[in-house]
Amino acid sequence: MKKIKYSMLTLLGLALVFASCGDQGKSSSNGALSSSAAEKVYVAPGEQDDYYAFLSGGYSGNLTVYGLPSGRMFKEIPVFSQFPTSGYGYSEETKPMLNTSFGFVPWDDSHHPDISQTSGELDGRWIFINGNNTPRIARISLTSFETEEIIEVPNSAGNHSSSFITENTEYVVAGTRFAVPVPQRDMSIKEYKGNFKGALSFISVNPEDGRMDLKFQLLMPGFNYDLSHPGRGKSHGWFFFTTYNTEEANSLLEVNASQNDKDFIAAINWKKIEEYVNNGGGTKMPANYAHNVYDEHTHTATSTMKKEVLTVDPTQVPGAVYFLPTPKSPHGCDVDPTGQYIVGNGKLSADLTVHSFDKMLAAIEGEKFDGEAYGIPILKFEDVLAGQVKSGGLGPLHTEFDDKGNAYTTFFISSEVVKWKVGTWEVIDRKPTYYSVGHLMIPGGNSRKPFGKYVVAMNKITKDRYLPTGPEMEHSAQLYDISGEKMELLYDFPTHGEPHYAAGCPAELLAPKSQKIYRLDENKHPYAALGTNDTRVERKGNEVHVYMSMIRSHFTPDNIEGVKVGDKVYFHITNHEQDFDVPHGFAMIGQNTSELLIMPGQTKTSVWEPKTPGVWPFYCTDFCSALHQEMQGYVRVSPANSNIELSWSLGD
Amino acid sequence: MMKKASILMIIGPLFLLGLYMFPLWNIMLGAPQYPEPLGMNIHIDGIQGVSEFDIQNIDGLNHYIGMRHLPKPEDMWEFSTFPLVIGGMVALGVLIGLLGFFGKVSYKWFLGWFVLMSVLGVLGMYDFNAWMVDYGTNLDPNAIMKLTNPDGSPMSYKPPLFGHAKMLNFDVTSLPHTGGYLMFVGMMLTVVAFFVGKKASQAIN
C-alpha cells in the first residue's frame, strides 16, 4: 500500500513537471519530444559514453575523438599536421613523421578513417587514415591514441579512395583520385587521355605490429578513383572502387567529366593479384617515397626513403579486374555486411545502383562482356544489377548499414538521410540534415557486424545551426537514433575541421586498454635522463645538449650558465612522473617553435637558438600541480666570445 | 578429543604463513583527483604499492608536506625481524601442537602460545603506530606546505591505525588485509584448540 502511495506521488510529480513544461512550451516547438531526445543523449557527470567516434579532420589534417551519444570531443590526435598543442611535428622526435619525397609537409587533408578488423569485425588495434593532398596513409595506435606510422604513396595524387582495409587487415588500400603521368614527367596536359594512369595501392599490414609496406600498385586506366570499400564475407578477396571522369577530361571537369551516362565501379580481385606478385609477377619501378615510423620506446620517429615500387599492369592478370557500369558519376562505394551487395551512389542522380556480387561472378563466368576499356572487360549493366533504390532524393553520396538489414544513404543536394531495405530496395524513412550531408557513420557500419544504435550525419554547411562566429564556422553533425523503424533526430553538435568519413566502435573495445602512462623503465630514448643523476649539460662544438628531467614541481637542472649566442641548444626533457594524467610542458621565451607537452615517462626534444645575451626564463606550460607556477628556470646566455664554462644546478 | 585439539593447534599457526604471501595491513588514499585511490600494502617484509607506481606517487605527493620517503625494507629493522618472528612462532605453535598430539604437553600450552602471539602482536601494532606518528609528524622544516591546526599547532599527517580519517584532500582508510585476517583466524583456532583440549581433559577427569 505504501508503495502505491509513493508511485502515485511520483506520477503527480511528473504531471507537475509536464505541466510546467507546457507553460514554457511556446518558445520550443516540440517540448515533450525533445525532452525524450535529451534523455537519450544525456550522459550524466561522471558517466561515460557508449561509443567512440573517430571523425576525420579534413583540412585540419588530424583525427578527432568523440563520444556518442553525447557528442563530446575528447581529443584531437595529430596525424598529418603540425600540432603546437603537443609539439607534434615541432619536436625533434616527431619532425620525421611529416617527411615526404617533397620534403617536410606540415599539413594534409585527412579523409577516411577505418578501424582494423579481424574476420570482418572491428578489433580495435589501430585506426588508419589517408592524407589526400600529399598522398599518405597513417596508422594510429588505439592503445596510445597516437600516430605511429605514415607511409607516402607514390604515383598517386589526391589520395581519396583510401584508407579502407580488408576484412582481416591484410591490406590498407589507397586509390588515386587524380590520374597522373606514371612515372611523373614533363608532358602536355592535353595528352592526358590514354597516357595518364590511376594507381591503386595495396599496402600490407603486419599483423604483429601493424607496420605498413607497399606491396603492389595496380596501374589502372587514367580515370578518377573516387571511393572504395572491401568485399567481406563471400566477397572477401575483392575490392571495389567507384570511378568518375571515365571521359578522361583534363579541364572543366564539372561539365566534361559528367557526359557519360555511366561510369564504372572497378572490381579488383586482389587475392588473384597478390598470388600473381607472390609468384614473381609485376614490374619493379624506381620510386621515391617516405616511410615514417614512430618507436614508442625511443619516443622517436625515423623517416626512410623507399626507392622502388612493384607495379602491376591489370591486363597482365586475366580475371583480376572488371568494370561494372554504374550511372551518373558514382561517389560512395559501399558493401553491405553480408558482402553480397555493392552500392554505387550516383551523385548526379536520384537513384542508387546496387550490384549483386553473385550476379557479377555469374556474368564473369559466362563471359558476358559489354566491350572493354583499355583491355579491361566491362560487364553488362543489366547482368550485374541487383536493384535500384528509387529514393526521391537528390545527390546520393554514401551508404552505411545497420545490423537489421537496413541501409542508410546520405543525399547531399536534398540534404537528408534515407533509410531503405537491403534486398527489397524500398524506402522506409527519411529525415532532413542540417545542411548538405556528406558522409554518415554507424559504428561498425562498414564491417560484417554493425552496431545499429546511432547514425552520425556529417554536414558540409552549417549556416544558422549555432551562434554565429563570423564567416568561418565549424561544421555541424547530427545524431539520429536508428534503433526503431523510424529514425529520430536526437542531437546536433559542431565538429572540428571538416569531417569527411568517420569510424566508430563500442567503448568497451578500447576503453579498458587505453594506455595511462609510458613506462620510464621502457624508455629507450638516447637522450633520456632516466634518473636525476643522469641530468647534465654537454657541449659538442656549438651544440649544447641539456639532459633535463621534470617532476612535480621542478626541472632538473633549472639554472644553466655557459650557453653562448650562436649555440644550438637541445633540451632533451624526460617526464619522471609515473602517474596517470600528469603531463608537464616546456616553453622557452622567444623560441622559434612550439611548446612541448611531455607525457609521464616520455622524452621530447626542443631546439632553441638564442640570439641575444641575457638571462632567459623557461617554464612548465601545463598546470601540473599546486606549485605549477614555481616550475620554472633560467638559462644565462653570454656573448659568442665569452669563456664562461657550462654549469648547471638545482636548488643551491 | 585431545588429538582433535592438537590438530587444530597444528593448523592454526600455519595460517600465519599467509603473511609471507599476503599483506598484513592496507592503507588507501583517495582524493578528488585520485578517483582510483593510491594505496599501500604493508607486508611483514616491506611496503608495496597497491598499483605498481603508487609508492612513488605517494612519495611525490608527500614531499609537498615534508614527509620522508616511505621506507624501503632495508630502512627498517622490523622488515627483516618480523618474518623471523612469524616463522619462529609458526614453528613453535606447530611443535606445541605435535607435542600435544603425542600427549607430551597439556592444552594449557595452546593458550600460552596464543598469549605470547597476542603480546607480540600488540607490540607490533605499537611499533607500527609509533612509526606512523614519527612519519606523520617529524616533517622537513623546509617543507613546501606548512599547515597548522586551528589552535596553531603543526598539522600531523599520521594515518589512522584502524579505520578512516580525512587528511587535507585525502580520505585515508586503514584496515587489515588478507594476511592480517588469516593471522586472526589462525590465532582464533588456537583458542578453540585450547577450549577443545580443556573439554577433553575435563571429560577424562
Same domain assignment for residues A555 and A479: no
Let me know if residue A45 belongs to a domain: no
CB atoms within 10 A of CB A532: 12
Domain boundary among A478, A513, A548: A513
The CA distance from B138 to A328, in Å, is 82
Closest Cα partner for A175 from A194, A203, A211?
Answer: A203
Please tell me the distance in Å from B26's CA to the nearest CA on chain A.
20
- Taking the Cβ of residue A579 and every Cβ of chain B, the question of whether any pair is shorter than 8 Å is answered with yes
For residue range A189-236, what is the model confidence (pLDDT) as tens digits? 999 999 999 999 999 999 999 999 999 999 999 999 999 999 999 999
Taking all residues of chain A, what is their mean pLDDT, rounded to a whole number?
94
A627 in B contact zone (CB under 8 Å):
yes
Q: What is the mean pLDDT of residues B95-122?
A: 95
- Exposed, middle or buried by CB within 10 Å (0-12, 13-18, 19+), for B164? exposed
**Residue B205 forms part of a structural domain:** no
Which pLDDT band holds residue B201 (cuts at 50, 70, 90)?
A: confident
The C-alpha atoms of residue B27 and residue B173 are separated, in whole angstroms, by 6
Q: Does B162 touch chain A (CB under 8 A)?
A: no
**Residue A210: its pLDDT value, please?**
98
Q: Does residue A304 sit in the same domain as residue A194?
A: yes
> Which pLDDT score is estimated for A3?
47
AA identity, residue A217: Q
Which residues of chain B does A577 touch, with a Cβ-Cβ cutoff of 8 Å?
60
What is the tens place of the pLDDT at every residue in B156-195? 899 898 999 998 899 999 999 999 999 999 999 999 999 9
What integer pLDDT is reported at residue B205 of this predicted model? 67
A36 within some domain: no
Among candidate residues A438, A576, A446, the one with its CA nearest the CA of residue A497: A438
Same domain, A525 and A400: no
Domain co-membership, A290 together with A435 = yes
Q: Taking the CA atoms of chain B, what radius of gyration do you get in angstroms?
A: 21
Contact A626 B64 (CB under 8 A): yes
Q: Is residue A11 predicted with pLDDT exceeding 60?
A: no
The band of B155, judged by pLDDT with boundaries at 50, 70 and 90, is confident
3-state secondary structure of A38: helix
- On whether any CB of chain A is under 8 Å from the CB of B48, the answer is no
Q: How many CB atoms lie within 10 A of CB A94?
A: 25
Predicted confidence at residue A35, as pLDDT, reads 66
Q: Is B56 on the interface with A (CB under 8 A)?
A: yes
Residue of B nearest to A520 (CA): B53
Which run of H or E residues covers position A148? strand A147-152
Looking at the fold, whether A590 and A470 belong to one and the same domain comes out as: no
Indicate whether A3 belongs to any domain. Answer: no
What distance in Å separates the CA atoms of residue A91 and residue A571, rounded to the nearest whole number?
10
A276 and A235 fall within a common domain: yes
Residues of A in contact with B64 (CB under 8 A): 626-627
**What is the per-residue pLDDT across A81-125, written as a single tens digit (0 to 9) for each?**
999 999 999 999 999 999 999 999 999 999 999 999 999 999 999
Confidence category of residue A21, pLDDT binned at 50, 70, 90: very low
Higher per-residue pLDDT: A586 or B203: A586
Give the minimum alpha-carbon distance from B28 to chain A in angstroms, rounded to a whole number.
Answer: 16
Identify the DSSP state of B148.
B
pLDDT at A257: 84
Q: Are A68 and A479 spatial neighbours (Cβ–Cβ below 8 Å)?
A: yes
Confidence (pLDDT) at A392:
82
What mean pLDDT is predicted for residues A57-79?
A: 98
Cell 580515370 sits at which residue? A223
State in Å, rounded, how far the first CA of chain B is from the last one.
13
We report the CATH number of the domain holding residue A375 as: 2.130.10.10
Whole-angstrom distance, CA of residue A1 vs CA of residue A18:
26
The chain B residue lying nearest A516, using CA atoms, is B53
Tell me, yes or no, whether A9 lies in a domain. no
Residue B57 Cα, gap to closest chain A Cα (Å): 7
CB of A578 less than 8 A from some CB of B: yes
A575 touches chain B (CB under 8 A): no
Q: Report the alpha-carbon distance of residue B170 to residue B50 in Å, rounded.
A: 16
Same domain, A504 and A542: no
Assigned domain for A532 exists: yes
Q: B160 in a domain, yes or no?
A: yes
pLDDT band at A32 (very low <50, low <70, confident <90, very high): low
> Would you tell me the crossing angle of helices B2-14 and B108-137 to the nearest 10 degrees?
20
Q: Give the minimum alpha-carbon distance from A76 to chain B in angstroms, rounded to a whole number.
A: 23
Does residue A499 carry a pLDDT above 80? yes
* Residue A133 binned pLDDT confidence (cut-offs 50, 70, 90): very high
Question: Count of domains in chain B?
Answer: 1
- Whether B204 is in a domain gets the answer no
Contact B25, B42 (CB under 8 A): yes
**Are A188 and A145 members of one domain?**
yes
Determine, yes or no, domain membership for B83.
yes
**Residue numbers of B between 66 and 95 with CB closer than 8 Å to A:** none
What is the tally of structural domains in chain A? 2
Q: Are residues A507 and A605 in the same domain?
A: no
- Whether B56 and A578 lie within 8 Å, measured CB to CB: yes
Last residue of a domain, one of A480, A513, A546: A513
Please report, for residues A110, A164, A254, A363, A448, the alpha-carbon distance to residue A122 in angstroms, rounded to integers and kept in the order given: 21, 13, 37, 32, 9
- Check pLDDT > 90 for residue A281: yes
Among B38, B55, B56, the strongest candidate for a mutation testing the A interface, having the largest count of A CBs within 10 A, is: B56
The pLDDT tens digits of the residues spanning A584-597 come to 999 999 999 999 99
Across A310-314, A612-616, B10-14, B132-136, least confident range: B132-136
Q: How confident is the model at residue B25 (pLDDT cuts 50, 70, 90)?
A: very high
Kindly state whether residue A588 falls inside one of the protein's structural domains: yes
Contact between A627 and B144 using a beta-carbon 8 Å cutoff: yes
B60 and A552: CB-CB below 8 Å? yes
* Residue B101 near residue B6 (C-beta atoms within 8 A): yes
Which residue from A minimizes the CA distance to B52? A578
The total number of residues shown for chain A amounts to 652
Q: Which domain holds residue B184?
A: 2-199
Question: Looking at chain A, which residue has its C-alpha nearest residue B56?
Answer: A578
pLDDT recorded at residue A537:
98
| Residue from A578, A627, A650 whose CB has the most chain B CBs within 10 Å, to mutate | A578
Q: Check residue B200 and give its pLDDT.
A: 87
Judged against a pLDDT cut of 90, whether residue A391 lies above it is answered with no
**What is the mean pLDDT of the segment spanning B95-121?**
95
**First and final CA of chain A: distance in angstroms?**
76
Tell if the CB–CB gap between B53 and A579 is shorter than 8 Å: yes
Do A570 and A645 fall into the same domain?
yes
From A40-49, A344-353, A475-484, A517-526, the region with the lowest mean pLDDT: A344-353
Give the residue among A566, A583, A523 at the shortest CA–CA distance from A547: A523
Closest C-alpha to B69, from B94, B91, B96, B40: B40
Domain with A127, as residue range(s), is 53-251+258-513
Let me know if residue A589 belongs to a domain.
yes
Q: Is A551 on the interface with B (CB under 8 A)?
A: yes
Whether A517 and chain B come into contact, CB under 8 Å, resolves to: yes
User: Residue B183: its pLDDT value, please?
Assistant: 97
* Pair A215, A331 in one domain: yes
Subunit contact B53:A517, Cβ cutoff 8 A: yes
A356 has a chain B CB within 8 A of its CB: no
How confident is the model over A317-346, as a mean pLDDT? Answer: 95
Are A500 and A526 within one domain? Answer: no
In angstroms, what CA-CA distances link A236 with A230, A339, A406, A451? Answer: 7, 7, 21, 21
Chain B 5-44, residues with CB within 8 Å of chain A CB atoms: 36
Average pLDDT over residues A300-307: 98
Q: Which of A513, A539, A573 is the last residue of a domain?
A: A513
| pLDDT recorded at residue B156 | 86
Q: Are strands A614-619 and A502-506 parallel, antiparallel or unpaired?
A: unpaired
